[in-house]
Amino acid sequence: MSRLILFNKPYGVICQFTPESGHQSLKDFIPFPSFYPAGRLDADSEGLVLLTNDGKLQNKISHPKFKLPKTYWVQVEGEPDEPTLAKLRQGVVLNDFKTQPAQASLMDEPSCLWPRTPPIRFRKNIATTWMSLVLNEGKNRQVRRMTAAVLFPTLRLIRYAIGQYTVQGIAPGEWRIVQ
C-alpha cells in the first residue's frame, strides 16, 4: 500500500537514513526504513520533507517534469526591493544554469515560526527580511544561490509546502502519515 509521510525536518538533519559526519539523519526521527525522501533539503535548511514507500509516487513528487510547486519561506540579510523581486520572478543566472521564473514576494515573519537551534546570526546594523519563493524546480542549494545572486544572502530557509502539502501544525522533528 502506497503511503506518504510529511516530516518537519529540523536544522542540522540530513535527508538520508544513513548517519553521516556527526549529523542526525532521518533514521533518528522516522521509524520506517522502507520509506524514502521524495526530494531533499540540505542540512542547513528546515521544513517539509515528503517520504514515501512508493517509487512511482516518489518520482511524481520529485521529478521536475511534474512541476510540483515548492514554497519556501526565506529570511534574507537586507531589505530586497521590487527590482530585486522582479529579477527572481524572471529567473536568475547562476554559474551553471538560469533558474526558471519564481514567484517572489515579501512577507511578514511567519506567526507559526518555531525557534531555530542554533539561532541565525544577526548583525546589529543590517536588517533582515522574510520572503516567499515558489519554485517549480529544485536544484542543489538553489534558493540560497538565487538570493546570493541578487545580493541578499539567505540566513534561514524553511520549505513550507510541496504542492498541496504543508508543514502547518507539524513541529520540528515530528511527522504525520497522510495516506
Q: Which tens digits make up the pLDDT trace of 71-86?
A: 999 999 999 999 999 9
Is the link from the previous residue into 118 a cis peptide, with omega within 30 of 0?
yes
CA 117 to chain centre: 17
Q: What is the mean pLDDT of the chain?
A: 93
Convert the pLDDT of each residue in 155-165 to its tens digit.
999 999 999 99
- DSSP lists the bridge partners of residue 46 as 158
pLDDT interval class at 22 (50, 70, 90):
confident
How much is the pTM? 0.94
Domains and CATH numbers, the chain: 4-64+164-177 (3.30.70.580), 69-162 (3.30.70.1560)
Q: Which residues are catalytic?
A: 42
Please check whether residue 47 is in contact with residue 160, taking contact to mean a CB–CB distance below 8 angstroms.
Answer: yes
